[in-house]
Structure 1
Amino acid sequence: MNKRFITAVIAFAVTAVTIFLASCSSAMRLAVYDTQTNKTYRTFEVSEGTEFSVEFIHSVNKSPVIDVYCIRDGNIVVDRTIYSAFGAGVQTEIEEGQTLEYDEDGNMVVSGFNIIFPEVKYIVGTVSDHILRIEGEYISLTELCGKNAHIAFKLR
């Protein structure tokens, strides 16, 4: 009986370690990399439901825009866009399935995109910065990647 107990404990321990290692190896990482050189600037551990956003001053209408993305089913999904002024280059019509609401500061929040992107591309601003917000951290993409860098966010 003692031998069976020890065998059961060992089997349980092996199973637990196997499950733990499998969960570690399946951890997703969001990479910020240069699309021209493939240099990785930084990676972030993410999981299902993690949100990240990129904030910038729109080059045409000169007002702040925040693009919010979410990790869903192992993909990067456009969740919502927040902006304060209509104008050239920003969405002026709500498409089927989308909603327009106003936040507490009076900004327009368009949601319901549910568009999957294999990667999200930006060109880092030369006049104003792009700010990445992820897991409570605010990161200047100008400082991280340099002005006019052609970057992408991709799950790896």
Structure 2
Amino acid sequence: MPCRRQLRLCGMAALVAVPFLASPARAGEVWLCLTETRGDGHEVTRLPAGSDGAFSLSFIHSVSRTPVTDYYHVADGQIVQTSEVFRAHGAGLPSIANDMDATGWRHEDGHFILDMHRLTGPIPLRIQAQFKNTLHTADTDLPLAGLGYNALTLAPCDEETSP
């Protein structure tokens, strides 16, 4: 089996080759994998999520031209969206409190916040530099356009790379 598919079994040599990695994996740490969507599906990079499996994705909304941030965490190997924070309503943004999987709705400090518990599965990402798509983890703010792909899929590594 290729070493990249068995990161936990390959030891320190594999860890040195992994981009954005500063220290060896710790037990229970959640890893996020970005894979190419439109080509051969190869792994582009992997990085650790926050200590509780938390991460977020931010972008500029294509219609309202305002920032949007989606918050997630990984629980039991699945991605759960916990909220969406935005400044202006636009196509594709929630506009009612009883949106799919919503658990709360509020307006705070000029932002609309939709709290939710939404299982997403792997997240397909369409990357365009002008929309500033960025993956945020505890240790990294990764501008996705800088990776050189216009379509990526984000998933917990165990889900994307089966043994």
> Aligned runs of 1:52-63 on 2, under 5 Å?
52-63=55-66
**Superposed CA offset, 1:78-116 (max 9, x none):** 11000001122211112174211234x32111012x121
User: Is 1:107 the equivalent of 2:108?
Assistant: no
* Unaligned residue ranges in structure 2 (runs of 5+): 1-24, 159-163
Query: Aligned AA for 2:71?
Result: V
Deviation at 1:138, TM superposition (A): 0.9
> Aligned runs of 1:5-154 on 2, under 5 Å?
28-37=30-39, 38-46=41-49, 49-95=52-98, 97-103=102-108, 105-112=109-116, 114-146=117-149, 149-154=150-155
Query: Aligned AA for 1:99?
Result: G
Deviation at 1:26, TM superposition (A): 6.6
Structure with max Cα Rg: 1
Q: Which secondary structure state, in structure 2, belongs to the residue aligned with residue 111 of structure 1?
A: strand
Query: Aligned AA for 1:34?
Result: E
Percent of aligned pairs with the same amino acid: 20
Query: Aligned AA for 2:141?
Result: Y
> CA separation of 1:25/1:99 partners in 2, compared to 1, >3 Å: closer, same or farther?
closer
**Superposed CA offset, 1:43-100 (max 9, x none):** 1234773211111111111111111111112211111000001122211112174211
Give me the whole-angstrom Cα distance separating, in 2, the residues matched to 1:117 and 1:42. Answer: 20
Give me the whole-angstrom Cα distance separating, in 2, the residues matched to 1:26 and 1:86. Answer: 38
Aligned length, in residue pairs = 130
Measured on the aligned residues, the alpha-carbon RMSD in Å equals: 2.3
Query: Aligned AA for 1:151?
Result: L
> CA separation of 1:34/1:73 partners in 2, compared to 1, >3 Å: closer, same or farther?
same
**1:19 equivalent in structure 2:** none
* Unaligned residue ranges in structure 1 (runs of 5+): 1-22
Give me the whole-angstrom Cα distance separating, in 2, the residues matched to 1:86 and 1:47. Answer: 29
**TM score, norm. by length of structure 1:** 0.72
**TM score, norm. by length of structure 2:** 0.70
- Asked if the contact 2:123/2:154 (under 8 Å) is kept, the reply is yes
- Asked if the contact 1:41/1:145 (under 8 Å) is kept, the reply is no
- Asked if the contact 1:60/1:89 (under 8 Å) is kept, the reply is no
Q: Which secondary structure state, in structure 2, belongs to the residue aligned with residue 30 of structure 1?
A: strand
Give me the whole-angstrom Cα distance separating, in 1, the residues matched to 2:145 and 2:31. Answer: 21
